[in-house]
Structures are given as structure tokens and as C-alpha cells.
Structure 1
Amino acid sequence: MTQLQSLLASVSVLSLLSVADAWSPTNSYAPAKINCDGKTGITREGGKISDAEASWLAKRDPVTSAALKTFLDRVTSNFADNSIVEQIFSKGAPKAGYAACGGGYRGMLLDAGTAAAMDDRTPGANEHGLGGLLQGITYITGVSGGAFYTSTVAYNNWTSVQDIIDQMNDGDHSIWDLSASPLNPGGSDTDYTNQVFADVTASIKAKSDAGFKVSLADAYGLITGYYMYPSLPQGGATYQWSDIQDVDAFKNGEMPMLMEVTAIVPPGEKTAGLDATTIELNPFEFGSWEPSINAFSDMKYLGTELSNGNPVNDGECVVGYDNVNFITSTSTDVINYISVQGNPVYTSMIAQFQNKFLGNITTDSVDTNIVSPNPFKGTSFYSSAEGNSLVETDELRLVDGGYGGQVIPLTPLMRKERDLDVVIATDNSYDTPEIWPNGHSIISTYTRQFHDIGSTDAFPYVPDTETFAALGLTENPTFFGCDSSNLTDLAYIPPLVVYLPNRMYSYASNISTYTFTYTKEERLAMIQNGFEIATRNNLTDDSEFAGCIGCAVMRRKQEQLGLEWPSECDKCFQIYCWNGTLASDLPSISSSANTSTSTTTEDDASYTTELTTLTSGDNFSTIHFETSTTITCHECEEAQATATAEVCEECEEAQATKTIECEECEEGQAQATITAECEECEDGQSNSHHYTTTTSMTTTTEVCEECSNSGSNSGSNSGSSNSDSKSSGSSNSASDKASSGPSILQVTTTLPTSSAFSIALNENAGNTVGITTSLTLLAIVGAFFGFI
């Protein structure tokens, strides 16, 4: 395939910015006061998009309309009748958004892979993916690791993932060179590390000397800038978030609008929960739609002391406060996770880093981003039912927007004011001990609309985590909100959501959020797996999937206009739409018909495997063997799975996994997987075994995932998605998946280096971090700060 010419060779400070004054007025990280005679109304009431955003949309809409028309014409070209495309566009184009999920570097790389799959600048994306859809997206949101992806491409002149791949290397400080820890950025090059730390310390001191509050979050943001904006001096220490307004690609409507999400730590609290107020960060404004604030402030003048939206000192405004690294840090900072544990060891370590980067600077909040003065001070746009605590406080303390549970940044895209038709949403959440999603994040956003804080939001109905597991909704794409007639009880009709959960195709992408170094090969493998997640394995699992995405894009407009729905779209929706079925609706299993067996296997660790044998009359079966092998057949309406288990006797090839077929399914054949645990690992290997817990229907099974030195890429052992009759007999093993279709991004993968510690963390709950031992927590902190 012909590779796109890399844009990065021409990327420079001058090409990033279109005007000479698009830098901090102090030419440093420090903000400055300027004369702004007559400037009023810096903070406005919410309830509508800003005039600046509306003006930008007037430029962007024609671009996205043309791109979506091209995309839809292509992906529906094999429909018996695709005249619906012309009918829709004669009345007005659909509008789409992309929500890039968090998850540290795991999230960043997988989100990048999804974007590459939607980008017609990626070679092969049109033939084997969703190429052109990204060009038709109006808004793109990021949080946590997703914000690393969105900020990188947006503030490198809307560069493509392919461009980043083309120049990717280890040790050369190119974009996303993650070969060294963020707080040991030079690796063995101590001079580079020392220079970075000296520059960061000087930047923070300059901001403090200018009269503005600082914290370790400033240091965190400044250091990560070296990984995202290596072409800019000091990783973008003088580059402002609002400067994107002056970038040609943005000004001309040639790129989506970037929005990131952060959460406010309520006064008196240590961290943010699901009911905490969230802040939207877009190129024009800093603000919240939620009733606790209901106001937006001009991003360019963030840091100005205001009262009811007007400068306290007439004619005096602050500019340069909205540094791009500081703003990105507000939605990605992990320091609060560590700090809230209250462990004396961490308290001591945080104090050491406070001394290192803050010196003698005093601060009342070390672990959060401090926005002071509060731009909403004295405003009256909030709901009295929510109280006035956030409009009376002098400062706002901000943390990662996913802390409360919303690891997928969906809320800005759901707003009625933006009138989107479809949202593509990745889910790279750390919900299970094995670091796979279980639906918790999207459930959090759905649930929040019924809380007071989310009373102005709407989100399609989604099931509970038990149903996500029972129906296999985290194994393949799922569409939520397919029929607007079922959503009339909500505040308004929200966009249809295309849910793309993290799963293994060519690579075991369940890498810990606390993994801060990746080799080039590992980064490329993660990006490729993200591509495959978004495309159902390069369209080999379902050759019609791109057309199904086209149907999702058109659905709201089709409903509004009352157009005839193509039969191909009807088939797609039968496969991919969640139809309201819950785990509790599945065929009941009488207790007298069940038998349960618990076994304990010793391998330097004890664990319990519980297996259940079901009656032959149910539509799936679990068969228990002495070797703790589980076979699960999903969604066979009138058949059972039959298979013979294979056992890995000597661990010579690690885990034995293969696919079997259901004999007599009405709609075709569904996938079932046999997983046999390793019985007799060779001496010296047992300490490196990894155990995976897979929950499917009513069965929970733990198996030996891999033995060291085996060379196996196995990392997933769950069955196929519900209602997917197209992907008969599809294997989950890395070797089988890799050979099933073209390798779009042309990379070779190997397993990542095993972590030095074991983590059991649910990143969807900022105040609930489960760690195996205090030593493990110390290892996490040490790994982050470059000690191990």
C-alpha cells in the first residue's frame, strides 16, 4: 500500500500557528495581565452554544456534509437501493461525533487506532475500514488517555495517526515516544531528563511569581507535553489552548472541534464522584451545561478576576493562563488517584515531588489542577436547587473527567443544542481485574441523567453490567438508541450511540492504565488492534459492517423524514442494536437442574473456579470437565454446543484455545470457545502465570492465560457477541485473528513485558482503588515517577 507522505517533516512552530501573537504574552508558562478596555460579558449564561461556535459551524458543516455524503455513497453502494442517501442530503446532512475513551496510554493508542480506521488518510482504511467517516465528524471529545490522543492530533495541525506512525521510533523524542517514563523522559540520557525537569520547574516558578496558584498537576501537564508536542519549544510551555482558533485547519472548518472534559472536586471533598459538576473545555470556552453552574467563560481570558462575568478591575484581563498542557492535564491527571489513598508512604512521596517541582512554593492543593480566580464567581445562572457553592468559591479544583465513572466523554456530544445524529464511542475502561470494559462507563452516563446534576441531559437506554456480560456486548460493536420512538420519556431524543469496546484481535490490548512505557512495537500493535476493533477485524468478521455504520449515521434523519428504511439497514440493526433484552429475560434455570463444582488449583496462588452445568433445554451450555475447561455457545436458539476439550499438558504452547460450532442454529452458526488451562508448567514458569476471569451468561471461569517463554499471544477467551450470525466459527486467538485479514497498519506484535506488580483497579470510581498490597501501591508510584 502506498503510504501517505508524512506531514510531520514540515511541522514546525510556524506551521502550527498562523499568527505571530499565538503565544503566551510572556513567552513563557506564566500568564500576564493586559489592557482590555471595555471588555465585558466574559462569562455568559449556558443553555446554548456560543456565537463563536455557531460561526465556526457555518464553515465546518459544508465540509462534513460533503465528507459524509462520500462515505455513505461508498458504504451503501452494494445496497439494492441506496437512494435514501440522496433523499437525506436533499434535506440536510447528518451530524456525527467521536468520543475517545480514557484509560491512560492504553486509551490513547486504542483511540488512535479507531481514528485511523475512520480516516481516509490511512492507507487501506477505505477498503478495509471506515475511511472518510472521520472527515465527516463535527465534534471530537477526549478524557484521560483519550484526551492525550485528541490533544496530540489537534495541536499538531490536525495530523493523522498514519503520520505519527510513519515517524514513530524509540528514544528520538518523536510524537508518542513512550520508551521512557514521563518522569524519567530521557531514560538513560540523564542530561535530557535533567533539562526537562529544570525547564518544568522554571515554568512553574514563573507562573507562581506572576501571582497564580500552582500544583503538581502543572508539572504533570508540562512533562506530558514533551510526548505530545515535541516540535514545540519545551513541549508547548508557551502554547495556549485557545490558540487553536488561529490554526488554519480549524479556522477553515477542515478539522473537528476538540472538546475535553474535567470534573470539579466539590469544596471540602478529596475527589470527584458521579454527581460532581463536569466542565467542558472547547477552543472557545471553559464552562458547564449543568445546573450547578450553567455558564461558560471565554477560554482566552481564563485567569481573569471576574464578578458576574465582568472584570473586577475595569480594563484589566489575563491571557496566557490556558496553556495547552495545563488544560489537557485537567482531564488526564492521575496524581489525585495516588494522593487520595491517604497512605503515609504516598503522602511522603508526594511531598518529595512537591519539593522537587514546587520548591518553596506553598499551595493548598498539590494533587489537583487549580483554576483561580474562579470564572463563575458571582454569577447567577445556576439552579438554586443545586446550591451556590461553586459560584461563591474563589477557586476551582479540577481532576480527570472520568473519575466519577464517565470514562467515555459522551456528555458534550449528547447536548440537544449540538443536534448530533450519531456518536462513535470507544470504551477502553479498566472495569475488570483483567483490564477489559464491562459497560460501567456508558451505564454511568446513562444513569446520571436521572440525577439532579444531569437533569438537562439525555442518553439512550442501556442495560446493566450483568446484561453486558450475558449478551456479550463487550465483545463486538453495539448500537444504543436505535429507535427514537422508544426514547420519548427522556428529556429529548439523544443521538444514536455506536459503542466500540476494547477487545483482543491481533494483540492483547488489556494493558494497565499504570503502564507508562511502551516500545515502538507495542505502540504499533495497540494502534492496530484499535483499528481492528473499529472495523470488526478489517471487515473480515462482517464484510457488511461499514454499511451498518452508514445505517447508524443515517438513522435519526431517516426517522425524522419518514423515509423507507433499506432492508440492509434493517438486517444491520437486527444484528447490532441492543433490543432491550436483559439478563433477567434470558431463559430461567431451575435450581434443581443445576450442579455447581468449585475447584482450587495451586500454582503459587489459590483461586476458585466455579462452573455450572446447565440442562440441555437451555439455549447455551457450559460443560464441566476435570480440567476446568469451559465451553460456551452464545445465542443458539434451538441447539447446544458439543465439543471435546483439549488440555495443554506440558505448557509447550501455552493456552489451548480453539473454536467450535453450534450444530443447528436457526440463523446460522454461532461461535463457542474451548479454553483449557495449563496443567504442568515447566519449572521456573509458574510465577509468571496470568489468570483471566471470564464471565459469560451464568458462568465464571478462571484459566491460565499464558506461561512465560511460551511465545503465545493469547489474551482473551470469551465467546462471540450476541446476534452476530455473520462471524461463524471466529477464533479469539491472536494467531487466528492476525491471519483472517490484511494487517492494515503493517506491524508485527509481541506480548508486552509483564508488569512488576499486580493491579486490581476500577478506574471508573475515583475513590475506589483496590490494590493487592501496600508494596504494589508503592510499585505503582515508583513506576510512574521513573524509579523502577
Structure 2
Amino acid sequence: MLLSAALTLPLVASVLGQAASYAPRLVDCPTESLIERTGSPLDGSQSLQADEAAYITTRRSQVLPPLWTTYLANDTGYNVSQLMIEEPKLGIATSGGGLRASLYGAGTIAALDSRNETNLGGLLQLAEYTAGLSGGSWAVSSFAMNDLPTTYDLVLGQNGQTGWLLDMDILAPGGILGFGDNDDYYDILTEDVRAKAQAGFPVSLVDIWGRGLSMHFFNGTTESDFFDTNSLHDQGLLWSSIRYTQNFQSHAQPFPIVVSTSRVSMEEQITGNSSTVIPLRNTVFEFTPYTFGSFDHTLSARIPLTFLGTYLNNGTAVNSSACVNDFDNAGFVIGTSAALFNAVQNEFSSDTFTNLISTLLSDITDIQTVDYAVPLVSNILNSFFGFVPEGQGSAPFESNNNTVLEVTDGGENGENVPLGPLLVKARELDIILAIDASADTDFFWPNGTSLLATAERTRDYSANYTSFPRIPESPDEFVAQGLTTRPTFFGCNITTNGNVSAPGAYPIIVYMPNAPPPSGSGYLTNTSTFKLNYDPEDVVSFLDAAHVNGMKGFETGDETSDPQWPLALKCATVDRARTRAGVARSEVCDSLMNKYCWSDGVAEILTNYTASTGGNLGDNSNGGGTSGASSLSALSLSAVAGLVVATGMMLMA
């Protein structure tokens, strides 16, 4: 449990880490306003919250410089001291996609972790931010809440970790015939949620879902006490208690962010031919260890996370004794980011699942004490009721008339990789690793849909204050060019002297899609989003496969990995800092950036080459998590890179 990881901290930290129960509590309101405006994105005045800014500043000045110096030594052809005038700034985004995304994200993070025998140079240790959404938020939060153990310790339950216990199904951990165990399991979940309802707060299916997730991704439940109704199961663990872990206190871990999105009403959900559930224009929310809110121009405001669930009218508490604490339950936060029930309510896949959901909804109705709760989304009393964002004249926040803020799965607007918060100019990131385990195709592989959604949202709703690099124009182009089989750099070149905060500037996006194994056969990681349990052997195989995929880069000749891939990634990581320092690209980095960077100029070459090698994800199915042969003829980019260099094409972003 978190408390054992914080024993060296003052006692008050441990007390704050675990609330007495799952139920929030009412407290006196502070004298200062709970709403803090982020500044207007329209005039470039956005700023970080003070605690976040202090964390990042300390991490940049005291923790990261020696790590960067070690990472950059020797092989890039640069003078490291020149690059460190304004050091690189890195973020990692981990997509949604249920347990598939959690495992793929964790396995890829293993490839970024310097503590593993094979790694890409310790980019996990160098990252300033990690953002997770839905299944990705489960992994990001589990790492942060458990004090940043290694992937294999965390997931498999080694060296003091309890493990994710993924052989216990999230909805029916006792198995189809384990009626007694399943009854005990749901008694544990519903009794916790009942306490919240009896305290006068709205509850929904997401509360039960979040409590179930807690029993896997945090450290308060073991295999031996999983069905024990007398055990606590981290029912009072707060997401804000990440601040009290040792690695956070020493600024030794990336700053974590969990992403969700706003739904105005059931009627507002998109139906028909649209591929999204929530409109792209809706506000994207972020949970940080300190705040809840959004940098989107539709809101541009936040509240302290410790006061999440406090109802405010135009920024003012309606009752000075009715502010809320302990609403940021850790399971509730990651359940909110993965609150997909409203999106699949008409698509429950089996009678068993339908009956279970119906039973749970009936249980929720029985324990509900208020009449304004919304059953299939996360219910958060609206701190932004009646709120008008800065710089918007009389234009209100879209949910400013809702007593309950309806918050849903962060990927329901199509942005399944949580890039938005990492594109915020105030965070000044130079490069973002986009780990994509989406299930966009018929066989559950990603095809660039999420990046296209972010590009569209940036263009149509955020163009005045943020930017996104040029990318292919459709999922078909991503597939046709082989970009779904290997890592690719987008946005390599900008004309703002490396200043990522300047208008029109953007970070380099390193797209790292879930893909079949490089050898053409092996464990396939394209399992269903609705697969809610994995055998221990499958967990190890999945992590290993994701780790290998993260390490492979572009295949070269008969090799299953590119030995230059770690160096290519290093060149991309420092490229904005290099530009800021006025240093020309070194010969080796120029060659590798040409090899891995995408531009319109290489699109046709990539398409022709992919077609000639038979690169196609459409034929790659999975065996429900078992090993199987892939029909993919994996793409080698070395010949393509040679053609690009030979024809002298300029790889402009």
C-alpha cells in the first residue's frame, strides 16, 4: 500500500494519503477562491499552477541535468555542454485501450527505463511528464502511486509489489462459476460506493468500476485477500497522495497527468456515422497531483484536486461549510478516465455482460440518495457552474449549467493518445513519445486515428493557441505508408529557433504504435479492449513483446531491430535544444533524422515501398492473447532512407 512507501515522511502525509473511507467529507471552505484561472490561451498568457511549476523547476534544475549529460555523452556528435544551455524537455503519452493499453504501455515503458537490461537510454527517468488516458491512465497511475517500481516488479508482483493480479477478471474475478467469490467481490465494491451515496454524493456505475480497478492497480489488495470483505482494499486511497511518495518528494519521477473529457448530456452524444462519442470541441480535463481542470480555451481554469467535487456557483461556494475533501479517490480518478459505459451501452456483447451491467445499475439505483445522478458517466459536483472563461467574452463553459459535471473516457472524442495536455505551451515540451495501443482496425491495431483527431482538434478548436505537426491525412495513408508498423518522427523541423512556446511551434511527436512482432511471428499484442483478464504466462509474454517492439525501430535487412534506433531517438530528443543553442545537426544525427522523420516528400516513396513488401496490418488477428504467426512482411526503412537521401529530398515537417 502507498502508506508503507511513505513511512519516512511526516505522519500527516500518511494520514492525507488514505481517507477514512470511500466517502468524501464536507469541510469548511478556505477564504481564498478555489478556482484559479490558467490565463488566456488566446493571448499566450497561460501559466502552470504554482506547485506544478515548482516541481518541474526543481526537477529541471536539480535532478535532470546529470541524467541528460550521461544520456547525451559520446555518440551524437554534439558538444553536450552546448545542448544543456536550455536542456531538452520530454513527455510520454500512453493511450487508452483497456488492459491491452495498460500492458502495452507498461511494456514500452520498460524499454524506456534505464533499470532494465535492454533500454533506449533511460527516457523514463528523463521525462518531465507522463500522461495517461483510460487503460493508459491505469498504468501511469499505478507506476506513480506505487513509487515508480520497474515494470516487471509492478505488474508481476515482485520485490514488495502485489502485482496487477490480471488473472482475476475485473468484472467476474471468481470466474463464471465462482458465485460466492463474485458475490463477495461485489459486496466489497458496493459497500464502499454505498458509503459515498449515504454521505449525500451522486454515484454511478463508474464508482463501482473504479473500485474494481483499485484492487488491481494499487498496492492494497493481494491474491490471498482479494475476496476478503473485511480487508480495506485501498478504499480510501487518494490520487493526490502521489505527492507523498518518496520519488515524487525527491522530484525523481515524471509529473503524472490523467486525462478525461466532458459530456454535456446524453442528448449531446454523437450518433450515426461519426466515429466518436463526444464532440471534439468539448473540454478535455486533466487530473494532476495538485489540480483538476483544463487549459482548453473553453475553460482555462482549475481547482485544487483536494477540493474536487465542491459545488461552486460562478466561483463561489453556496455554503461556506460545504466544501468537499477526499473526492479524488484513486480508483475513481482512473475509473473516470476509463468511463466507457455511455459509449457501449447499446453494444453490450453478451447476455452475461448485459445481465451483470443491469444488476449493477439496479444496485446503484437502490443505494442512490440524490435524484440528479447520471448512471453511466462519472459524476463530479460542478465547481465550474456558471463560470465564464477568461478571454471569451460572454461565451460560457459548455457544461456551466450542469449541477453535475459529466466526465467520461478521455478517448471518446477520438483522441485516444492523451497529447493535448502535453501540447500546452506553458509546459514547453520539445518532444512527446506517443505510445498508441488503440484498437482502430478490425484486428485491434492502431492506424493513426488518434493523431488525426488531435490534428483536427488543434486546427478547428485550438489553432489560436497551440499547434500540431503535419501528419498523413487519413488512417489509410498511415497504413499504406507503413507508419503503423514502426516508430516515426513527426514535426522534425520548425522555423522558430527551437522555441516550442512560440506561435506555430510544436514538439516533435515520436509515434510508437502497437504492432506485430518484428520477426513476423511471436506473441500478438492486439487483444480486445474488452478482454478483462490475462493468464500470468500471457502477461509475461505481452510485456516482453511490447518491450521488444519498443526497442526494434526500423528493421534493417535481415535484422529484427535497428541497432541505430536508440541513437536516432536520442537525436530527436535533443533536436529542439540543439536548434535553440544555434548548433547545426551533426552528421550522424542528420542521417538518422532523415531516416526516421516523416514529411509529405517521402509519403509516396513509403507507400510504394510498403506495397512492394506486402506491409499490411489488416490480416493480423490474434488468438485472444496466445502466440501466433503474423502475416506481416515487416517494413525495412533502410532502402527508403537511401532513396530519400539519394534524391536530395528535404524532410520538412
Q: Is the 8 A contact 1:226 1:234 kept in 2?
A: no
Change (3 A) 1:519 1:347: closer
* 1:578 paired to 2:598: yes
Paired position in structure 1 for 2:339: 333
Q: Is the 8 A contact 2:5 2:146 kept in 1?
A: no
The residue matched to 2:416 in structure 1 has which SS? coil
* 1:633 paired to 2:612: yes
| Shift in Å, 1:353 | 1.8
Question: Which moves more between the two structures, 304-313 or 566-575?
Answer: 304-313
Q: For 2:146 and 2:87, locate their aligned partners in 1 and report how far apart those are by CA, in whole Å.
A: 28
Paired position in structure 2 for 1:469: 479
* Equivalent residue for 1:94, pick from 88, 101, 105: 88
Q: For 2:623 and 2:197, locate their aligned partners in 1 and report how far apart those are by CA, in whole Å.
A: 52
| Shift in Å, 1:141 | 0.3
Paired position in structure 1 for 2:22: 29
* 1:481 paired to 2:491: yes
Q: For 2:30 and 2:75, locate their aligned partners in 1 and report how far apart those are by CA, in whole Å.
A: 61
* 1:300 paired to 2:317: no
The residue matched to 1:460 in structure 2 has which SS? coil
| Shift in Å, 1:322 | 0.8
Change (3 A) 1:349 1:116: closer
Q: Is the 8 A contact 1:481 1:495 kept in 2?
A: yes
* 1:497 paired to 2:509: yes
| Shift in Å, 1:570 | 0.7
Letter of the aligned partner of 1:720 in structure 2?
Answer: L
Q: Is the 8 A contact 1:70 1:132 kept in 2?
A: no
Paired position in structure 2 for 1:51: 50
* Equivalent residue for 2:361, pick from 336, 339, 354: 354
| Shift in Å, 1:164 | 2.3
Letter of the aligned partner of 2:439 in structure 1?
Answer: Y
* 1:289 paired to 2:289: no
* 1:146 paired to 2:136: yes
The residue matched to 1:426 in structure 2 has which SS? strand
Paired position in structure 2 for 1:265: 263
Runs (5+) with no aligned partner, structure 2: 40-45, 222-230, 270-276, 643-653
The residue matched to 1:359 in structure 2 has which SS? helix
The 5 Å alignment of 1:314-463 reads: 314=320, 316-341=322-347, 350-361=357-368, 364-372=373-381, 374-382=382-390, 383-384=392-393, 387-452=396-461, 455-463=464-472
| Shift in Å, 1:204 | 1.1
Q: For 1:218 and 1:229, locate their aligned partners in 2 and report how far apart those are by CA, in whole Å.
A: 16
The residue matched to 2:286 in structure 1 has which SS? strand
Q: For 1:118 and 1:351, locate their aligned partners in 2 and report how far apart those are by CA, in whole Å.
A: 42
Paired position in structure 2 for 1:556: 576
Paired position in structure 1 for 2:226: none
| Shift in Å, 1:287 | 0.5
Q: For 1:316 and 1:454, locate their aligned partners in 2 and report how far apart those are by CA, in whole Å.
A: 39
| Shift in Å, 1:69 | 2.1
Change (3 A) 1:712 1:295: closer
Q: For 1:440 and 1:725, locate their aligned partners in 2 and report how far apart those are by CA, in whole Å.
A: 24
Write 1 or 2 for the structure with the bigger share of helix: 2
Change (3 A) 1:235 1:454: farther
The residue matched to 1:63 in structure 2 has which SS? helix
Q: Is the 8 A contact 2:437 2:446 kept in 1?
A: yes
The residue matched to 1:98 in structure 2 has which SS? strand
The 5 Å alignment of 1:223-262 reads: 223-231=212-220, 234-262=232-260
Change (3 A) 1:716 1:435: farther
Q: Alpha-carbon deviations, 1:564-602, whole Å to 9, x = none?
A: 21111111111100022376x569xxxxxxxxxxxxxxx
Change (3 A) 1:237 1:466: same
* Equivalent residue for 2:101, pick from 102, 107, 116: 107
Change (3 A) 1:221 1:454: farther
Change (3 A) 1:546 1:388: closer
The 5 Å alignment of 1:117-136 reads: 117-122=111-116, 124-125=117-118, 129-136=119-126
The residue matched to 1:235 in structure 2 has which SS? coil
Letter of the aligned partner of 2:55 in structure 1?
Answer: W
The residue matched to 2:214 in structure 1 has which SS? helix
Change (3 A) 1:550 1:344: closer
Q: Alpha-carbon deviations, 1:701-748, whole Å to 9, x = none?
A: x69x7999xx97203424405455699xxxxxxxxxxxxxxxxxxxxx
* Equivalent residue for 1:185, pick from 173, 181, 203: 173
The residue matched to 1:134 in structure 2 has which SS? helix
Q: For 1:86 and 1:104, locate their aligned partners in 2 and report how far apart those are by CA, in whole Å.
A: 42
Q: For 1:707 and 1:181, locate their aligned partners in 2 and report how far apart those are by CA, in whole Å.
A: 18
Q: For 2:586 and 2:298, locate their aligned partners in 1 and report how far apart those are by CA, in whole Å.
A: 44
Q: Is the 8 A contact 1:541 1:726 kept in 2?
A: no
Q: Is the 8 A contact 1:309 1:375 kept in 2?
A: yes
Q: Is the 8 A contact 1:336 1:368 kept in 2?
A: yes
Letter of the aligned partner of 1:507 in structure 2?
Answer: Y
Q: For 1:715 and 1:375, locate their aligned partners in 2 and report how far apart those are by CA, in whole Å.
A: 50
Q: Is the 8 A contact 2:524 2:622 kept in 1?
A: no
Q: Alpha-carbon deviations, 1:134-167, whole Å to 9, x = none?
A: 1110000000111111011111122221322553
* 1:163 paired to 2:78: no
Q: Alpha-carbon deviations, 1:720-777, whole Å to 9, x = none?
A: 05455699xxxxxxxxxxxxxxxxxxxxxxxxxxxxxxxxxxxxxxxxxxxxxxxxxx
The 5 Å alignment of 1:716-735 reads: 716-722=631-637
* 1:207 paired to 2:200: no
Question: Which moves more between the two structures, 280-289 or 485-494?
Answer: 485-494
| Shift in Å, 1:245 | 1.9
| Shift in Å, 1:543 | 0.9
Change (3 A) 1:163 1:476: same
Paired position in structure 1 for 2:187: 198
The residue matched to 1:204 in structure 2 has which SS? helix
| Shift in Å, 1:311 | 2.7
Q: Is the 8 A contact 1:706 1:714 kept in 2?
A: no
Root mean square deviation, CA, Å: 3.2
Q: For 1:60 and 1:306, locate their aligned partners in 2 and report how far apart those are by CA, in whole Å.
A: 34
**Which one scores higher on RCO, CA 8 angstroms, separation ≥ 6?**
2
Q: For 1:528 and 1:712, locate their aligned partners in 2 and report how far apart those are by CA, in whole Å.
A: 12
Paired position in structure 2 for 1:734: none
Paired position in structure 2 for 1:68: 68
Q: For 1:183 and 1:314, locate their aligned partners in 2 and report how far apart those are by CA, in whole Å.
A: 40
Q: Is the 8 A contact 2:524 2:627 kept in 1?
A: no
Q: TM-score, normalised by structure 1?
A: 0.70
Change (3 A) 1:359 1:95: same
Q: For 2:278 and 2:627, locate their aligned partners in 1 and report how far apart those are by CA, in whole Å.
A: 40
Q: For 1:327 and 1:14, locate their aligned partners in 2 and report how far apart those are by CA, in whole Å.
A: 21
Q: Alpha-carbon deviations, 1:85-116, whole Å to 9, x = none?
A: 22111x12111000011111111111111111
Q: Is the 8 A contact 1:473 1:721 kept in 2?
A: no
Letter of the aligned partner of 2:386 in structure 1?
Answer: G
The residue matched to 1:581 in structure 2 has which SS? helix
Q: For 2:101 and 2:348, locate their aligned partners in 1 and report how far apart those are by CA, in whole Å.
A: 27
Percent identity among equivalent residues?
28
Q: For 2:501 and 2:217, locate their aligned partners in 1 and report how far apart those are by CA, in whole Å.
A: 43
| Shift in Å, 1:392 | 2.8
Runs (5+) with no aligned partner, structure 1: 1-10, 588-617, 622-631, 635-671, 674-692, 696-701, 728-788
| Shift in Å, 1:485 | 2.4
Paired position in structure 1 for 2:567: 547
Change (3 A) 1:157 1:141: same
Q: Is the 8 A contact 2:52 2:290 kept in 1?
A: yes
Q: TM-score, normalised by structure 2?
A: 0.84
Letter of the aligned partner of 2:81 in structure 1?
Answer: E
Paired position in structure 2 for 1:715: 630
Higher Rg: 1
Q: For 1:347 and 1:165, locate their aligned partners in 2 and report how far apart those are by CA, in whole Å.
A: 30
Q: For 1:712 and 1:540, locate their aligned partners in 2 and report how far apart those are by CA, in whole Å.
A: 18
Change (3 A) 1:217 1:37: closer
Q: Is the 8 A contact 1:119 1:132 kept in 2?
A: yes
The residue matched to 1:97 in structure 2 has which SS? strand
Letter of the aligned partner of 1:121 in structure 2?
Answer: R
